[in-house]
Structures are given as structure tokens and as C-alpha cells.
């Protein structure tokens, strides 16, 4: 944990024979940033849980799913991104709460960016009853028996993911909680890119009323 790392670094700094003081101080700064990020994620998850039945606090907006997916691609900072829009997508106007929707899509893209090997594909499809957004990466993937665990808080599947990925396993938990608040569903599968495919199912029911 970041706290134990800070304690270890401080213990090393107290030793008279320690030479890399500057690096240890930099490490402590990094660990403090980790704690800040973790605290932010925990607070975000807590707010999502408490806001499940408080949708009136968040104004609904009508947005284009095509435009929404396109503008979220910049969440990937270490990967090349590609947006695929199926020819079947004709009506992509949807009524939603943008803050929740961003938490879902952004965390899926960040996860692909963290655990992939530099390539992310986002695909928007339309069906009679729903829209579907796939976020796929070219990483090592996740064994079938472990896939549902990625939505658990603090899940870290290091044996099947990039060991240098970092993070604390809350991003997909936040995405899943925000998806439930919207009435959306998340699923995980293997990708044709060789890594993981995370899918968002967005029902079309009651779109005129703005309910999910």
C-alpha cells in the first residue's frame, strides 16, 4: 500500500548509510499522489452509491452517442485509439445524465489504456432494443474464470494483466456503479485484438421520457 511504502522510504532515509536520499524523497511524493488518487476514487464510489436514487439532482441531456464516444477517446494517453461506428447506427440520440455516462466510458477507456499494449478500439452498434459500446484492447486479456472479478472493488488480477499497470482496482467498480445508476449493463469478454473487450449495453426503453 502507499502508506507502507512511505513508511519504508522514511525508515531508509533515517539510516546513515542510505545514499539515494533524493530518489527516496521523489518516491514519497509519488506515493502521496497515489493516496490522493485512491481517496478520490473511494469518495467517487461512495457518492455514486448514495446518488443511485437521487437522479433528480443531475439534469438530463439529449446527446449523440457518436459524438459522445468520439470526444471520450482522449481519455487514452498511452494508446492509439480507433472509433468504429456500425452502419446499422441510424438513431444515436439518447437522453442521459452526462456525468454518469462519462464515468462509465472514461473508466473503460482508461482501463484499456492501462492494461493494453498501445491499441484501443471503441465500437458503437445499434440494435432494436439497445445500443452497444465495445471498448477493446490488445493486452494480455483476462482468463474466463476471472472476468467478473474485475468489477469488484480493489480487484487486482496481476497474474493476467500488466504487472506494471498500477492503480487500485476501483476504476471498473466506479464504471459499473455509474452504469447501474443509468440503467446500463456492463459485461466482459475476450477481444479480437487479443486482449479484453468491455461492453456497455444501453437500453432504448422509455427514451422519450428520459428514464432508464
Cell triple for 62: 439529449
pTM equals 0.71
Please list, residue by residue across 138-168, b when 16 or more beta carbons sit within 10 angstroms of its beta carbon and e when fewer do.
bbbbbeeeebeebbeeeeebeebbeeebebb
**Mean pLDDT of the 30-44 span:** 64
Phi, psi dihedral angles at 194 (to 5 degrees): 105, -15
Q: What is the pLDDT of residue 148?
A: 77
| pLDDT, greater one: 31 or 56 | 31
Three cell numbers at 208?
Answer: 422519450
**Residue entry with cell 502507499:** 2
Grid cell in block for residue 85:
461506428
The dihedral over CA atoms of 65, 140, 75, 110, expressed in degrees to the nearest 10, equals 90
Cell of 188: 466482459
Q: Three cell numbers at 145?
A: 474464470
Higher pLDDT, 12 or 48: 12
pLDDT of residue 28: 79
- How deeply is 192 buried, as exposed, middle or buried, from its count of CB atoms within 10 A (0-12, 13-18, 19+)? exposed
Condensed to tens digits (0 to 9), the pLDDT of residues 57-109 reads: 567 889 999 999 999 999 898 999 999 999 989 989 999 888 889 889 998 99
Average pLDDT value for residue range 124-150: 90
The better pLDDT of the pair 192, 48 is held by 192
Higher pLDDT, 161 or 143: 143
Residues counted in the chain: 212
Q: Rounded to the nearest 10 degrees, how much is the dihedral formed by the CA atoms of 166, 141, 113, 94?
A: -120
- Higher-confidence residue of 43 and 141: namely 141
Alpha helices (H) along 15-161: 21-50, 65-72, 98-115
Amino acid at each position: 500500500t502507499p502508506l507502507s511504502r512511505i513508511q519504508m522510504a522514511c525508515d531508509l532515509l533515517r539510516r546513515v548509510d542510505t545514499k539515494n536520499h533524493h530518489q527516496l524523497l521523489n518516491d514519497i511524493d509519488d506515493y502521496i499522489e497515489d493516496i490522493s488518487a485512491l481517496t478520490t476514487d473511494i469518495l467517487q464510489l461512495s457518492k455514486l452509491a448514495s446518488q443511485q436514487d437521487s437522479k433528480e439532482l443531475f439534469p438530463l441531456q439529449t446527446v449523440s452517442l457518436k459524438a459522445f464516444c468520439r470526444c471520450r477517446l482522449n481519455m487514452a494517453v498511452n494508446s492509439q485509439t480507433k472509433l468504429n461506428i456500425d452502419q446499422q447506427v441510424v438513431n444515436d440520440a439518447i437522453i442521459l445524465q452526462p456525468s454518469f455516462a462519462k464515468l462509465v466510458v472514461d473508466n473503460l477507456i482508461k482501463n484499456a489504456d492501462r492494461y493494453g499494449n498501445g491499441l484501443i478500439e471503441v465500437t458503437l452498434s445499434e440494435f432494436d432494443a439497445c445500443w452497444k459500446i465495445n471498448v477493446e484492447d490488445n493486452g494480455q486479456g483476462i482468463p474466463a474464470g476471472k472476468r467478473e472479478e474485475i468489477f469488484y472493488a480493489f480487484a487486482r488480477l496481476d497474474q493476467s494483466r500488466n504487472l506494471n499497470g498500477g492503480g487500485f482496482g476501483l476504476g471498473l467498480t466506479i464504471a459499473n456503479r455509474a452504469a447501474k445508476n443509468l440503467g446500463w449493463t456492463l459485461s466482459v469478454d475476450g477481444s479480437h485484438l487479443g486482449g479484453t473487450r468491455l461492453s456497455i449495453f444501453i437500453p432504448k426503453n422509455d427514451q422519450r421520457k428520459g428514464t432508464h
